Amino acid sequence: MNEETITPAELTVVPGLWVHRPIPIVIEESAEDVLARWVEPGLTGFGGSEGEAIESLAAIILDVWTSLHAGDAVRGSNARRIVTVLENYAAPAP
Q: Are strands 90-92 and 82-85 parallel, antiparallel or unpaired?
A: unpaired
Q: Which of 89, 2, 92 is nearest to 38 (CA)?
A: 89
pLDDT band at residue 2 using 50, 70 and 90 as cut-offs:
very low
51 within 8 A of 30, measured Cβ to Cβ: no
pLDDT (mean) for 59-63: 62
Quick one: DSSP state of residue 75?
A: -
Domain segments of the chain: what residues? 3-92
What per-residue confidence (pLDDT) applies to 32?
Answer: 52
Give pLDDT tens digits for 5-51.
444 444 433 333 333 334 444 445 555 555 555 554 444 444 455 55
What per-residue confidence (pLDDT) applies to 22?
Answer: 40
